[in-house]
Structure formats: C-alpha cells, structure tokens
Amino acid sequence: MRIVFFGSSDFSVPFLESLAQDIVLVITSEDKRKHRGKKLLPNPVKESAEKLGLEFIATDMLDENVIKEIEKSNPDLFVVVSYGKIIPSEILRLASCAINVHPSKLPMYRGAAPIERQIMDGVKESAVSIIKVSEKLDRGDIILSKPFNIEPFETKADVEKKIVEIGTILLREAIEKIKREGCKGKKQTGKGSYAKKITKDDEIINWQKSNTELHNLIRALSPVPGARTYFKGKILKIFRTEPDDKYYDEVPGTIVSVNDDSFSVKCGEGVLKVFEVQMEGKKKISARDFINGFRIKKGDMLGG
C-alpha cells in the first residue's frame, strides 16, 4: 500500500520507522525554536524521515500546495500518529482510507493527552485502538483494538513504550485487515470522555492533595514536562515517587523524614516518598544526591 504518514512527535517515530518501506510521503509540522538559544530545530518525525530517505513536507498549513503534493503521491492510505492537527475533509478524500493510532479504550479519553490523563486518573486497564479518521475528534469506527494494563508505578515513558510495542504490530495488522476487507470498523459505543491538553497549571504539585493523586500526577508527567514544586524559591521537578500512608501532624509540603535514598513529604492525605528530582537550572539527580548536595533536613518546606 502507498502510505502518506502524518506525525510530529517522538511517539510517532517508531510507527513511521515500522512502515517506512510503504511510505511515499510524510507530512509533519514546521521547525520550531527551542531551548535557551531559541535555535530553529526540526521535530523528531522530520529528522527520522530525512534519515530514512523519505519524501516529506514540514508545514503548519495544510493548504492547496500540500494537497497537490499529496495527490501526486497517489496514496492508498493515510496513517496518523500523534500529529496534533485536524486533517480537513479535502485531504481525507484523497485516499480510500485514513486511520489513526489512539492510546485509550475508546470512547474514553478522546483528545490531546490520553496517556497523561489516564495515568493521572489512576486508570489500570487501557487499550491501543486503530480507528478510522473522522472529522469529529477521535470518534471514528474502531478497526482493531488491543487491551493492556497500566501498572501503579509506570511513568508516561513506561506506558508509551508499552503502547509502541503493541501499537506497531497492531497497526500492521490493521493495514492487512484493510487490504482484505476494505476500510471497515465498528462504531464506538457508550459515553465518552475528553483528555484535554496538559497545561502549565496541570504541572504544579498541590501538596494539599492526597499522596495517591500526587503520585499519579508525577508519573503522568515523567520525564517530560515533569511535575513541579518549589524549594527555597526555585523550581524543583519531581519524577519518581512512592505513596506512604504514615500519619504526620505537619502541614502539607513539609519534609517529614529524610532517608539514605529518599525523603518524604507530607500531603493532604499520607506522605510521598521522593526518589528522583531536578532543581531549576540543574541536571536530574537521585534523591540521595539532592539530600547531600542541598543539605535537606526534616522540617524543610516544598511549595510556594
């Protein structure tokens, strides 16, 4: 099959690589200015397409010029993975089928941040779904779906790895199914939910919340962008934690104990043991190095 691939993020890359031999064109986003120097840098999909020798268009405008280039490629199938934009109907009609890889048990967690929102909510059972692209966000018919579990200590990075392992195989199976049966799927049923985009406010650790809520928030944002609090007026990001139900009288945000490899922070309910952090302007380090380097002691406060 002649495939046009739409994607922009790190998450897209393994799917692009798995289909490379059938891809005739890659559509991705424009280069963005990043980091302190604000250098103009390509996204991971553009970098991968260049390495693989694939034709690509890096643009934020799906205009007439893009439509003409897609038409020239004579596509059979569109594959969309973490693209971040709605594909208009004028483009969708250029291929006999358009499919999307979505990491949730649909119709739950449609939208921009399904992985993060599921982990934040403590979801234990999810799925990788291959669906038809529709003009309404993530509401297309389901072609194939495969369940997987989200374990209590898995971070976003862990869950993404699991989704890629399942999803690259499932995507190929879906393409073979489309070859045999055409672009057919089952309608989504039941009440759905929306996984809204992660904002800067979502990244803030509110120590008034329970240790379970905060543990889920921290692992949902690990490693990027990282959940953040403050220590001595500077941003402190936290990446790896463990809930502990010990009771302390101190106010939330207080460091209530310091051990060799962790320190514990009082929450609205219970405490949270912290194992990995990053101070503003510094590298990510273990809690042990943070304790020794910043002379962390019982009674120190986190938050602002």
Q: Which of 195, 230, 250 is the last residue of a domain?
A: 195
Which helix H or strand E contains 125, and what residues bound it?
A: strand 125-132
Burial class of 253 by CB neighbour count within 10 A (0 to 12, 13 to 18, 19+): buried
Residues 30 and 179 in one domain: yes
Residues 138 and 253 in one domain: no
Q: Which of 195, 212, 241 is the last residue of a domain?
A: 195
Contacts of 118 (CB under 8 A, 6+ apart): 104, 109, 126, 150, 159, 195
Residues 116 and 34 in one domain: yes
User: For the chain, what percent of residues have pLDDT higher than 90?
Assistant: 94
pLDDT above 80 (res 217): yes
The whole-angstrom separation of Cα 47 and Cα 153 is 32
pLDDT of residue 246: 94
pLDDT above 70 (res 36): no
pLDDT of residue 43: 92
pLDDT above 80 (res 37): no
- Torsion, CA 283, CA 285, CA 291, CA 292, rounded to 10: -80
Contacts of 248 (CB under 8 A, 6+ apart): 254, 256, 266, 271
Residues 224 and 252 in one domain: yes
The whole-angstrom separation of Cα 156 and Cα 116 is 7
Q: Is residue 304 part of a domain?
A: no
Residues 21 and 156 in one domain: yes
pLDDT above 80 (res 40): no
Structural domain range at position 249: 201-294
Residues 54 and 152 in one domain: yes
Residues 156 and 222 in one domain: no
Q: Which of 36-45, 89-98, 122-131 has the lowest mean pLDDT?
A: 36-45
Residues 183 and 286 in one domain: no
The mean pLDDT value for 14-33 works out to: 95
pLDDT of residue 33: 72
Structure confidence by residue, pLDDT tens digits, 51-102: 999 999 999 999 999 999 999 999 999 999 999 899 999 999 999 999 999 9
Q: How many CB atoms lie within 10 A of CB 168?
A: 18
pLDDT above 90 (res 34): no
Confidence band of 174 (pLDDT split at 50, 70, 90): very high
Confidence band of 41 (pLDDT split at 50, 70, 90): confident
Structure confidence by residue, pLDDT tens digits, 222-274: 999 999 999 999 999 999 999 999 999 999 999 999 999 999 999 999 999 99
Residues 37 and 154 in one domain: yes
pLDDT above 80 (res 35): no
pLDDT of residue 88: 92
pLDDT above 70 (res 207): yes
Residues 41 and 80 in one domain: yes
Picking from 236, 265, 239, 245, the residue whose alpha carbon sits closest to that of residue 253 is 265
**Token pair for residue 133?**
């692209």
Q: Which of 29-33, 62-66, 79-83, 190-194 has the lowest mean pLDDT?
A: 29-33
Identify whether the C-beta of residue 167 lies closer than 8 Å to the C-beta of residue 136: no
Average pLDDT, the chain: 96
CATH number for position 99: 3.40.50.170
The whole-angstrom separation of Cα 91 and Cα 201 is 35
Residue 15's alpha-carbon distances to 45, 169, 171, 243, 281, in angstroms, are 10, 9, 8, 35, 33
User: For the chain, what percent of residues have pLDDT higher than 70?
Assistant: 98
Q: Is residue 40 part of a domain?
A: yes
Residues 145 and 238 in one domain: no
pTM value? 0.95
The whole-angstrom separation of Cα 153 and Cα 161 is 14
> DSSP characters for 176-234?
HHHHHH-S--BPP-S---EEPPP-TGGGB--TTSBHHHHHHHHHHTTTTT-EEEEETTE
Confidence band of 280 (pLDDT split at 50, 70, 90): very high
Q: Which of 178, 195, 212 is the last residue of a domain?
A: 195
The whole-angstrom separation of Cα 144 and Cα 176 is 11
Residues 176 and 217 in one domain: no
Contacts of 102 (CB under 8 A, 6+ apart): 110, 114, 128, 129, 130, 131, 138
Picking from 111, 62, 107, 110, the residue whose alpha carbon sits closest to that of residue 89 is 62
